[in-house]
Amino acid sequence: MLHYPDFDPIIFSVGPFQARWYGMMYVFGVVAGWLLGRWRASRPGSGWTGPQMDDFVTYLILGIILGGRLGYVLFYNPGYYFSHPSEVVAIWNGGMSFHGGVLGVILACWLFARKTGKHLLDVGDFVAPLVPPGIMFGRLGNFINGELWGRVTDGWWGMVFPGAGSLPRHPSQLYESALEGLALFALLWWYSSKPRPRGAVGGMFLLGYGVARFIVEFARQPDAQLGFVAMNWMSMGQVLCLPMMLLGGWLVFRSR
């Protein structure tokens, strides 16, 4: 059994202001995506400029935060937040839905495409390889927060998480960081290194993430307030991955 590190979620405090590792991971993810986007924009034939990437980052941040938070509120705990509406804005306490964030980013891509005259699928193809680093950092933030832990395991890699009882559990946040973040980034960076038909790269992202998340959910503890939501074995995360995989698979197939 591995020892769960005793993290202090607060990096430093200045008066009432607190800088938290959870929020800092989002900063790292956005900065990584921006730097990679600037590099991709500088490549011949990218169809993008550096200033366009700088402009898009604003859309991206708003899409991630608003979509991720509203997705969590609506998909995972609507009853609580409808009863405590002031808690909706307390994102520093955790509670972001990746699937909601995807919807927010798609909306951001659509708005940016309308502004610049680009095709929505072209924007999606350019942006898709920039997203996995943010996922990687975001899941590390979940691990530091000691949230979204895995199911009970007797493997030597199990950890006892604060607030999760005395039994060792899968560090599923690290599984997701590695699979949905690092591995998916490597796949998309390689896949997008050659010219692909319109929609293929974005479709590969949706399909790749959906498959990776669906698999990892078997090691992740379902949300306590929801439990299994379909067929007594599917979690909300898996249910939300189904349309992602279908849409992603259709885009990849269509592009061929």
On whether 198 is known to bind a ligand per the annotation, the reply is no
- 81: DSSP letter: H
236 conformational bin, left if phi > 0, alpha if psi -120 to 50, beta if neither: alpha
DSSP 224-249: TTT---BTTTB-HHHHHHHHHHHHHH
**What contacts 247, CB < 8 A, 6 or more positions away?**
203, 206
Tell me the two tokens of residue 146. Answer: 């000691």
Cα distance between residue 242 and residue 197, in whole Å: 23
Tell me the two tokens of residue 41. Answer: 């924009």
Binding residues: 139
